[in-house]
Amino acid sequence: MARVYNWQIGREMSYWYPESRPKRQFAAVFDLNKCIACQTCTLACKTTWTSGRGQEAMFWNNVETKPYGFYPLGWDVKILQMLGKGVWRNGVYEGLTVFEAVGRGERVLGFRPEEADYAYPNIGEDECAGEVEKGVYLSGIHDVWMFYLPRICNHCTYPACLAACPRGAIYKRQEDGIVLIDQKRCRGYQECVKACPYKKTFFNPVTGTSEKCIACFPKIELGMQPQCFENCIGKIRLQGFISTPKEAREDNPIDYLVHILKVALPLYPQFGLEPNVYYIPPIHVPFSFLEMMFGPSAKEAVERYQAERKDEDGRLRGLLALFGCTPRTVERFKIAGGEAIAMNEKGEELVRVPVKEPVFIRPGFDPASGVARLNTP
């Protein structure tokens, strides 16, 4: 095992291979306050990449309801139980990662789900934590909660799937950090399925190989956002590239949200993979739950998100307005003249949107047409 630095857990850790960061790292931010679980992303991926034989129960993109939704069944609860409770102190994770909690001769702590665990991708949908008393649901704010969690492969900096593969069939591209499975080398041993704590590699019984999200790399190479991003109805997603904390740039949208404003957090950083999909946590969920899922700074992230969003000309509000507004990859952004402007790597403009959404209030009666409108207050 090599020693590598993982900034998300604030310390060095053990990993099967030495540290080797790509030239650029594919990354994304999902704003969980906006997801409506319409599953358009799921279908966009399914119809593009996994409509073949052997892929029937395979969803490279899935959306589950937390706390009771899982795909596959119990994926996070099981690995959290195996890892045990780990303590965070001053931003440093003092528990064991999946690479450190292993027995002799093993590379990664994990488990392989049963075939039936993939059969209910929508289990727990819309189920709330807690109960609403009969008759009180229209009388005020109640404290039951749930939220939707869309998930794709995290194209991790330290992929467990890659570390576990005895065939060396999994590789991380130097040009963009995307993690892929070489279908010619894979022999279907499913060590990656067992190792990935996010359960984002899948076994195809027809081809006898494992498959996973490919980050729509043919689109990335053209400067386009992936299918599940471009088609997101709620405009909750933005794809780009992330720098290391030391090299963070104010005009890079992902760096800004993750490193500078610190409102977007990795999913289960304690696993130790340095995942590269980041989430703006939901504002209505107990902090204890959010801290278990997104690390110890979840409370500050939610509070900062709420405070910054109130600034009507602010950078956060402008940047959030750019989510889902262009099919191109946004590598830079700026706010000028009340508009948020998205740019490509060369600084060429892709799209501009108003930071503050214009609101037009129409009168109830339109004298020009002599009609009364019913849909006005």
Task: DSSP letter for 79, please.
Answer: H
Distances (CA, A) of 232 to 51, 63, 151: 19, 12, 13
Selected binder of ligand SF4 within 227, 252, 297, 329 (CB under 6 A): 227
Residues 51-70 that bind ligand SF4 (CB under 6 A): 60-61, 63
Nearest Cα neighbor of 156 from 19, 261, 307 is 19
78 binds ligand SF4 (CB under 6 A): no
At position 237, the amino acid (one-letter code) is: R
Distances (CA, A) of 34 to 38, 149, 214, 222: 11, 10, 25, 27
149 binds ligand SF4 (CB under 6 A): no
Q: Which residue is it, tokens 């997603």? A: 237
Q: Which residue is it, tokens 């289990």? A: 123
For residue 99, the minimal CB distance to ligand SF4 (Å) is 11
206 binds ligand SF4 (CB under 6 A): no
269 binds ligand SF4 (CB under 6 A): no
Which H or E run includes 202? strand 201-204
179 binds ligand SF4 (CB under 6 A): yes
222 binds ligand SF4 (CB under 6 A): no
Residue range at the interface with ligand SF4 (CB under 6 A); choices 9-17, 94-102, 131-139, 150-158: 150-158
Sequence-distant (6+) residues with CB within 8 A of 133 are none
215 binds ligand SF4 (CB under 6 A): yes
For residue 40, the minimal CB distance to ligand SF4 (Å) is 4
What is the bridge-based pairing of β-strands 2-6 and 11-15?
A: antiparallel
228 binds ligand SF4 (CB under 6 A): yes
36 binds ligand SF4 (CB under 6 A): yes
b/e per residue, 49-60, with b = 16+ CB within 10 A? bbeeebbebbbb
For residue 330, the minimal CB distance to ligand SF4 (Å) is 16
38 binds ligand SF4 (CB under 6 A): yes
For residue 50, the minimal CB distance to ligand SF4 (Å) is 8
* Alpha carbons 86 and 66: distance in angstroms, whole number: 21
216 binds ligand SF4 (CB under 6 A): yes
DSSP sequence for 287-305: HHHHHHHH-TTHHHHHHHH
Site string for ligand SF4, 185-204 (x = CB under 6 A): -----------x-x-xx---
* Alpha carbons 151 and 201: distance in angstroms, whole number: 12
Say how many residues touch ligand SF4, by CB under 6 A.
Answer: 42
For residue 41, the minimal CB distance to ligand SF4 (Å) is 3
Site string for ligand SF4, 235-254 (x = CB under 6 A): -x------------------
Q: Which residue is it, tokens 């992330």? A: 242
At 72, is the secondary structure helix, strand, or coil? Answer: coil
Residues within the interface to ligand SF4 (CB under 6 A):
35-41, 44-45, 48-49, 60-61, 63, 148, 150, 152-156, 159-161, 179, 196, 198, 200-201, 212-216, 226-228, 232-234, 236, 273
